[in-house]
Amino acid sequence: MTNPPEVHPEPLRARLMGTALERVDAAEKVTGLATYAVEHPVEAPLWAWLVQSTVARGRVAVDATEALDHPGVVAVLDHTNAPKLEDTSNGELAILQDDRIAFRGQIVAVVLANSSEAAREGARLVRIEQDAEDAEVELRADNATYRPDKVNPASETDTDQGDVDAALASAEVVIDQTYRTAYEHNNPLEPHATEARWYSDDSGDGLMLHDSTQGVHSVAKALAPMLGLEQERVRVSAPYVGGGFGSKGEPHAHVMAAALAARTAQGRAVRLAVTRQQMFALTGYRTATISHVRLGADREGRLTAIEHQVQEQTSRLREFAEQTAVPTRMMYAAPNRRTGHRLAVLDVAVPSWMRAPGEEPGMFAGEVAMDELAEACGLDPIEVRRRNEPSVDPETGRPFDNRRLLECLDRGAERFGWSDRPREARRVTDGEWRVGTGVASSTYPAYIQSGNAARVETLPDGRYAVSIGSVDIGTGARTALTQIAADALGVDAERIELRMADSSLPPASVAGGSSGTSSWGSAIAAAAQQFRSDHGDEPAAGLRSEAAPVRGAEADQFAFHSFGAVFAEVRVHRYTGEVRVPRLLGVYSVGRIINPTTARSQFLGGLVMGMSAALFEESVRDPRFGHVVTQDLATYHVAAHADVAGVEADWLEEETPAFTPMGSRGIGEIGIVGTAAAVANAASHATGIRVRSIPLTADRFL
């Protein structure tokens, strides 16, 4: 393979961008024709079922005798007979390599059978002997003392500017509080699933996967070296994916289980569907967090010191260090600032990405603390934010391109009816309900990933095929990229055939970090520009160009972040403590909106997920036995339709051409950030009771 030329794409002229083009895959989705990971037609597949450890730490011996006697069961893999991996440095993926149990729910055997039912019954019949050892599974303030080298994705663990202690000692107003957020599990609509087939041809061995993933190339890249294959020999496709929220951003252990099973199955396809219950052990989760925040200010609410120290967890198997205090570094102005992260290293499954990892729990802490500062100074919470608005990025010293937080707050205040709000808490009742309103800021960094490329070629019917391996996990990316491709080539949407979600296509970064549209769209813009310069605008059929985008040097002069303001109305029942959220409004500044329909869905989904975190979501781990007790949607509560009342999203008209040729900055995660704080602040305004941890369960208000 030759590397495509690097092109610095020009800003695109918007014709289709900004219009509400209907989803290009709508018909397939609503008619059931869209094929998800284990729905691809395949001749006589084998079905795999996972057997999991039931202790948190120790050693295992597997007895498959009874399982193998069950009709339809073909094989049982465990650490004694599974194919050996060439690289075991990724402890999460290196399954069935030895008898060690590193967390409860770990894969200790895989049953292969001719039907899903036989595989499941076979798994029940596998006997496992476990030697349990003492395990530590609980995050506490006194065991989260390990200092990681970096926090995700590559940020400093600790920062310290000025003299925070001196500033706090002389501050007229000090807020010094601890905020907690719960463990959460992502729970996309489509559980994780993989179909794997091992094959051999003239070039040697290879692996084909249909995987429910946010990034086909990332899966190939993670698995190939472990299996002793070149990356090109692992082909991954994911034409339709039913959500991920970060949990499908990297392959988890079940994907390796399917790969090892396929290698054993000698050419037969293996289907592995993770159950909802198994997802609570195997497919990632958001760490719980403990944030100690100290703010020093003068009586007018001007910050002199900001400190945010975070404690959270990682797994002994593999380090995952969430960047929870990172947003505090750029949010508000103050001369003295300190942040840090410490981890508890536990005998638990590896934490992972969940929508706005870091920003969501970190901004809960920071934005409730700002509400407490407003209260302590007798100021409106919007005013206290106005007084601490930085002129440049406090972390890097660079100017923002651009920061319109105050405009988001002002527009939201007007639309929400903020001016009628009584300053004091516990002033408004409606029958048996106490009513309050709250506000919080939101932010999310604008990310653009390297390593993307796209290809443009002309088809016999006069249309353009535009290829990039990116995955649409349900966000509408396929539609937004069609609009971008059409504008980049100067044609209508009907003349674009987008080819996506296959690792044989030009490389694409993961659908994560709100970076997809920016990263892939820039690649498409570069490829289209290359094509037009190679072949002009009246090309014959059968011509092609490929390109990778490069960024202009001017991009390094700015700090690129998105901003938003979230407003919530909360009602708390005075006798039962029940909390309802009748109104939520988010106003965002995110760069150009490519498609207002799909963008609105992203914002609303984020707002609902943030409200769900505020009120309901909590994975309860039993500290004695190490498992997540709330391992289904009956006990792990998410916001349902009846919980979602008036949710609205609005945005400022803008574009950021210094960031991407489309002028966009990213929208997938900012909706969840700040929302839990807005709800908690409104609950405090309704009741006069300040709750500093989520979820805000009813008992907290009684």
As a dihedral over the C-alpha atoms of residue 509, residue 513, residue 514, residue 519, rounded to 10 degrees, the angle is -30
Q: How far is the CB of 669 from ligand MOS (least distance, A)?
A: 6
For residue 686, the minimal CB distance to ligand MOS (Å) is 31
> Closer to ligand MOS at the Cβ: 655 or 669?
669
Q: Which of residues 412, 512, 606, 626 is near ligand MOS by CB under 6 A?
A: 512
Q: Per residue, what are the HEC states of 156-223?
A: ECCEEECCHHHHHHHCCEEEEEEEEECCECCCCCCCCEEEEEEEEECCEEEEEEEECCCCHHHHHHHH
- Give the other-Cβ count within 10 Å of 129's Cβ: 9
Question: By C-beta, is 53 or 352 nearer to ligand MOS?
Answer: 352
Choose the stretch contacting ligand MOS; rule: CB under 6 A; options: 71-79, 99-107, 245-253, 591-599: 245-253
Q: Which stretch binds ligand MOS (CB under 6 A): 110-118, 144-152, 347-355, 374-382?
A: 347-355
- Binding of ligand MOS by 362 (CB under 6 A): no
- Scan for tokens 């700002």, then name that residue: 370
Length of the chain: 702
* Binds ligand MOS by CB under 6 A, chosen from 185, 252, 271, 355: 355
Least Cα distance to 126 among 112, 140, 136 occurs for 112
If binding is defined by CB under 6 A, does position 665 make contact with ligand MOS?
A: no
Shortest Cβ distance from residue 9 to ligand MOS (Å)?
24
The answer to whether residues 224 and 159 touch, using CB atoms and an 8 Å cutoff, is no
Does 185 sit near ligand MOS (CB under 6 A)? Answer: no
Interface with ligand MOS (CB under 6 A), residue total 11
State yes or no: cis peptide before 153, omega within 30 of 0.
yes
At closest approach, how far in Å is the CB of 249 from ligand MOS?
Answer: 5
Burial class of residue 338 in the structure, from the number of CB atoms within 10 Å of its CB (0-12 exposed, 13-18 middle, 19+ buried): buried
Query: 458 or 514, CB closer to ligand MOS?
Result: 514
Q: Radius of gyration (Cα) for the chain, nearest Å?
A: 26
Structure tokens at 72: 């339809």
Q: Which of 58, 469, 513, 626 binds ligand MOS (CB under 6 A)?
A: 513
CA distances from 161 to 272, 323, 396, 605 (A): 51, 18, 12, 37
If the CB atoms of residues 53 and 509 are measured against ligand MOS, the closer one turns out to be 509
| Contact status: 357 vs ligand MOS (CB under 6 A) | yes
The span of 96-104, 196-204, 263-271, 353-361 binding ligand MOS (CB under 6 A) equals 353-361
Q: Does residue 246 belong to the site contacting ligand MOS (CB under 6 A)?
A: yes
At its nearest, how many Å lie between ligand MOS and the CB of residue 629? Answer: 24
Site for ligand MOS in 202-221 (CB under 6 A): 214
Residue 654 has a CB neighbour count (10 Å cut-off) of: 16
Quick check: is 669 catalytic?
yes
239 sits near ligand MOS (criterion: CB under 6 A): no
Which residues touch 538 (CB under 8 Å, ≥6 apart)?
Answer: none
Query: Is residue 308 within the footprint of ligand MOS (CB under 6 A)?
Result: no
Nearer to ligand MOS, 246 or 663 (CB): 246
Residue 164 CA to residue 336 CA, distance in Å, equals: 5
605 is a contact residue toward ligand MOS (CB under 6 A): no
Among 332, 353, 520, 558, binds ligand MOS (CB under 6 A): 353
The CB-of-106 to ligand MOS minimum distance in angstroms stands at 23
Give dist(CA 69, CA 76) in Å, integer.
Answer: 11
User: Do residues 117 and 287 lie in contact, with contact meaning Cβ atoms separated by under 8 Å?
Assistant: no
Q: Kindly state whether residue 249 participates in binding ligand MOS, applying the rule CB under 6 A.
A: yes
Residue 666 near ligand MOS by CB under 6 A: no
Residue with tokens 């795999």: 48
Distance of CA 624 to the CA centre of its chain: 29
Site map (CB under 6 A) of ligand MOS, residues 460-499, x = contact:
----------------------------------------
Least Cβ distance, residue 25 to ligand MOS (angstroms): 20
Single residue of 167, 317, 354, 408 touching ligand MOS by CB under 6 A = 354
| 320 lies in the site for ligand MOS, by CB under 6 A | no
Rounded to whole angstroms, how far apart are CA atoms 309 and 158? 9
Instruction: Kindly state the smallest distance separating residue 353's Cβ from ligand MOS, in Å.
Output: 4
| Mode of pairing for the β-strands spanning 579-589 and 561-573 | antiparallel
| Whole-number Å distance between alpha carbons of 570 and 648 | 15
Among 250, 360, 546, 669, the one annotated catalytic: 669
Q: Which is nearer to ligand MOS, 93 or 241 (CB)?
A: 241
Return the number of the residue (61 or 604) whose C-beta is nearest ligand MOS: 604
* Nearest CB to ligand MOS, comparing residues 539 and 605: 605
244 vs 381 by CB, closer to ligand MOS: 244
DSSP state of 347: S
Residue number with CB closer to ligand MOS (53 or 562):
562
- CA gap 583, 569 in Å, rounded: 5
**Complex with ligand MOS: residue 249 or 301, whichever CB lies closer:** 249
First to last CA, the chain: 66
Residue 434: phi, psi to the nearest 5?
-90, 135
Rule CB under 6 A: say whether 45 interacts with ligand MOS.
Answer: no
CB of 606 to ligand MOS, least distance (A): 11
Stretch that binds ligand MOS, among 41-49, 147-155, 224-232, 241-249 (CB under 6 A): 241-249
The reply on whether position 606 binds ligand MOS by CB under 6 A is no
Q: What share of the chain is helix, strand, coil (3-state, %, to 5)?
A: 25, 25, 45
Rounded CA-CA distance 405/590 in Å is 10
CA–CA dist 420, 257 (Å, integer) = 58
Residue number with the shortest CB distance to ligand MOS? 246
The stretch among 175-183, 240-248, 334-342, 595-603 that binds ligand MOS (CB under 6 A) is: 240-248
Q: DSSP alpha helices (H): ranges in 14-160?
A: 26-31, 65-69, 116-125
Closest separation between CB of residue 568 and ligand MOS, Å?
23
Judged by the rule CB under 6 A, the positions of this chain that interact with ligand MOS are 214, 244-246, 249, 353-355, 357, 512-513
Cite the active site residues. 669
